[in-house]
Amino acid sequence: MASPITIICLVLIILSNTVPGECGFLPLAPALYVFGDSIVDNGNNNYLITLAKANYRPYGYNFDQSRPTGRFTNGKTVADFIAEYLRLPYPPPYKSLLIKENSVKGYNYASGSCGILPKTGSLQGHCLSLDEQIILFAEMLTTILAPNLHHQLSQHLAESIFLFVVGNNDYLDTYSDSDSDSSESYDPHQFAQSLIQSLSEKLQKLYELGGRKVMVSDIGPLGCVPSVIRRSKTNGTCDENLNKRVIIFNNQLASMLKNLTFTLKGSHFVFIQSHSIIYDTILNPTNYGLSDSKSSCCETGAEVAGTATCIIGLPPCPYPNSHFFWDEVHPTEAVYSMSASRIINGSSPFFPMNLEQLLQA
């Protein structure tokens, strides 16, 4: 007869479609390290002085016990789904170290409103720029991983998965406004190149620190985000001018990652190309099991105060995961689930491999 632990594990596997590490199944990778912005932030901004927070209801409406954790969505993020697939715990937000035990299975450094450029997000308050995130990762190597892993540290880093979702706010906050300094100082190609150069330097720094398996997402069709449409002059349609600017960045990103993989020995920099799929999902939501891709599920006060985040305490729409957008910027858990599935075992569009293949590289 099966033991109670075995029965519990089987139930968990059936219900969540994951294989918990506590049930005796080995993780598929030593750790998952997450970098980026609010798309993957799971609570770092809770510990920062910033207006960009999601630690209140209705955020987390579909998460464990409807608990707001700092995730800018109704449930799990794409990083959470990837962690489940890897049979790893959700990487804890690094800024929560004061209240959490040290871990050698990964951390999340992402910070809502921040981006590649140090100044991005500064109007909201303090967030962790990508520079700061890399510095915190280096600090963690010295204070946590090295004392715990010793001679196994290099192998741990080489086999771990590094996920980057960043650049959205550099366009939304810094370059989507035609009156901004960056918009006046750079043409679209120059601005994209400045971001690519900065990101490349940070990825090379990660390589120097030991990271080898790195997945970097492109930027989605930001011109179709409700908050952008609301303040644009497109009569309720996507701002294709902003979308074109983003595509210029994405094309340069693909070339940069390919070059890094070619020049940095033993590295694998995977390009996650999601722009076209997300764009099609927004234009044709019913093809993807969604009913609404234009309005946010939660009340945001957009018409009155121009805010893009949920109003504290107000109930969301009845069926959040039938919507593409949770608030005026961020997708719902349903969209993140679809995105994670493509990242894990999708046949396209990736360069040069999906996550399943990366684990074997």
- Helix and strand counts by DSSP (H, E) for the chain: 14, 7
- The catalytic residue among 37, 41, 218, 327 is 327
Active site residue 339: no
- The catalytic residue among 38, 227, 274, 339 is 38
Distance CA 247, CA 354 (A): 21
Active site residue 330: yes
- Single out the residue of 154, 253, 256, 255 nearest to residue 212, CA to CA: 154
CB atoms within 10 A of CB 115: 26
Q: Is 126 exposed, middle or buried (0-12, 13-18, 19+ CB in 10 A)?
A: middle
- The catalytic residue among 37, 173, 330, 339 is 330
Say if residues 213 and 162 touch (Cβ distance below 8 Å): yes
Phi, psi at 175, each rounded to 5°: -130, 0
Structure tokens at 123: 């109007």
- 226 CB-side CA count, 13 A: 25
Q: Is 104 exposed, middle or buried (0-12, 13-18, 19+ CB in 10 A)?
A: middle
Distance CA 228, CA 305 (A): 15
Active site residue 38: yes
Which residues are tagged catalytic? 38, 327, 330
